[in-house]
């Protein structure tokens, strides 16, 4: 081997090319799975990421469980599913080969057309990729690079999770309080660890580029998987009508308690401290025929409202690792849903229900169904004089919180 060849080998560099493909996988799809490729030239080494895909979840039967309907052409309604990210942030960590400790890092932002970053041959790296440009999510990188967390900020919205001491129609204990936080953004990511860049080209598969130069290929998996999870809440109102019309005409908001405040991104384990998340974007009431009930029976008709909520999931677990096994999260808190229901005379009736079992069966998101009996509406509230201001149901509701567009539709 010539001195020039040895020199070129010793000063070999690595480049990362990041690109986003248009393929979006959902559930148990049979679509082709592509990988990252590491290209090695004689004088430089390249990592080419030409297809970052969303490798999503198994076992979520949105269409079968979901009964609320919407018009895709209407601005009041949106798709349900995850959004392919447009920008990806890459944090490249230098790793000590002997101890495995990260000792420095630098950041590169990639777009859908790709980008490059140079690394040194003979070194070891960890690489953290996640979608860039979040609004409500805050990130914290520890000084020793051993932890990387994502969490959300305190919300200013009105919580509807009322305790027994606050509402007669509540299943929530009277002494439990939660701080209300914003919904997180949709967040996807992947961590590639212990990528050691071999200085010997014979360690790689050989191919030729378009100019006839020899290159060498090394495959690395880089599927982006969710850190935040979609829950769809549908509120089914039975026996809603009386001689004066519908008792319940809508809802001002929805709150879910017992959720994790954040996630440790390297391990995907959620925080153990719990929070509540509130959404004011409850979709308007629809009348449906042949509505499925919890016991498998079918009601001739019922009214249905709906709300979409993003969360970090349940506390103290990796929601993806526990999806198939349906392992329960830490028994720190129950999950309650609070509803600020609007009555026909404009008054608000607060209802809180225990949804712990449904949430723990679906740690990575899914459909949660709540049944409300119109006969349970307090008659003294209905008998009060009609409110003419400061209340009532506003038919011009806002779009979904964190409205999305995706190829995945119901």
Residue 70 and residue 94 share a domain:
no
Residue 111's pLDDT band (cuts 50, 70, 90) = low
Q: Is residue 115 part of a domain?
A: yes
Same domain, 240 and 93: no
Question: Band of the pLDDT at 282, cuts 50, 70, 90?
Answer: very high
Note whether residue 98 is domain-resident: yes
What tens digit of pLDDT does each residue of 384-403 get? Answer: 876 554 443 333 333 333 43
Q: Which of 59, 98, 139, 117 is nearest to 324 (CA)?
A: 59
pLDDT over 70 at 239, yes or no = yes
For residue 314, is it within any domain? yes
pLDDT over 70 percentage in the chain: 67
CA–CA distance, 399 with 410 (Å, rounded to integer): 17
Q: Which phi and psi (to 5°) does residue 381 adopt?
A: -70, -40
Across 18-27, average pLDDT: 31
Query: Does a structural domain hold residue 405?
Result: no
Overall domain count for the chain: 2
Co-location of 46 and 171 in the same domain: no
What pTM, to 2 d.p., does this model score? 0.78
**b/e code 83-96 from CB counts within 10 Å (16+ = b):** bbbeebbbbbbbbe
Instruction: Select from 167, 196, 225 the last residue of a domain.
Output: 225
- pLDDT above 80 for 157: yes
Provide the pLDDT for residue 220: 64
DSSP 292: E
Q: Which domain holds residue 14?
A: 3-58+86-129+188-225
**Res 6 pLDDT > 60:** no
- Looking at 225, 246, 277, the residue that finishes a domain is 225
Cα(125)–Cα(128) distance, integer angstroms: 10
- At 69 the pLDDT is 79
CA distance 27 to 55: 8
408 within a domain of the structure (yes/no): no
């Amino acid at each position: 081997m010539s001195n020039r060849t040895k020199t070129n080998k010793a000063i070999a560099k690595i480049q990362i090319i990041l690109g986003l493909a248009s393929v979006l996988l959902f559930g148990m799809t049979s679509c082709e799975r592509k990988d990252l490729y590491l290209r090695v030239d004689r004088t430089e080494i390249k990592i080419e990421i030409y297809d970052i895909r969303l490798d999503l979840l198994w076992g979520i039967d949105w269409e079968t469980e979901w009964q609320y309907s919407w018009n895709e052409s209407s601005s009041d309604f949106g798709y349900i599913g995850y959004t392919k990210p447009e920008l990806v942030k890459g944090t490249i960590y230098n790793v000590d080969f002997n101890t495995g400790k990260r000792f420095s890092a630098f950041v590169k932002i990639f777009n859908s057309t790709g980008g490059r970053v140079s690394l040194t041959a003979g070194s070891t790296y960890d690489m953290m990729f996640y979608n860039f440009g979040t609004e409500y999510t805050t990130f914290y990188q520890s000084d020793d690079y051993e932890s990387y967390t994502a969490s959300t900020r305190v919300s200013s919205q009105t919580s509807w999770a009322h305790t027994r001491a606050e509402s007669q129609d509540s299943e929530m204990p009277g002494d439990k309080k939660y701080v209300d936080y914003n919904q997180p953004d949709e967040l996807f990511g992947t961590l590639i660890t212990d990528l050691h860049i071999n200085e010997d080209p014979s360690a790689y598969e050989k191919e030729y580029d378009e100019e006839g130069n020899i290159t060498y290929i090394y495959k690395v998996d880089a599927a982006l998987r969710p850190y935040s999870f979609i829950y769809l809440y549908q509120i089914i109102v039975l026996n809603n009508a009386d001689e004066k019309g519908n008792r319940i005409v809508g809802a001002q908001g929805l709150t879910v308690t017992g959720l994790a405040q954040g996630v440790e991104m390297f391990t995907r384990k959620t925080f153990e401290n719990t929070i509540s998340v509130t959404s004011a974007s409850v979709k308007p009431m629809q009348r449906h025929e042949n509505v499925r009930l919890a016991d498998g029976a079918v009601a001739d008709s019922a009214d249905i409202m709906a709300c979409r909520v993003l969360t970090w999931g349940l506390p103290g677990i990796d929601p993806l690792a526990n999806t198939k096994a349906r392992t329960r999260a830490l028994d720190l808190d129950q999950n309650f849903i609070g509803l600020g229901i609007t009555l026909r005379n404009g008054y608000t009736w607060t209802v809180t229900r225990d949804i712990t079992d449904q949430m723990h069966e679906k740690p990575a998101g899914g459909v949660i169904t709540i049944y409300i009996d119109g006969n349970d509406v307090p008659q003294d509230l209905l008998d009060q004089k009609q409110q003419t201001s400061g209340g009532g149901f506003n038919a011009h509701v806002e779009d979904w919180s964190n409205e999305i567009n995706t190829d995945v539709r119901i």
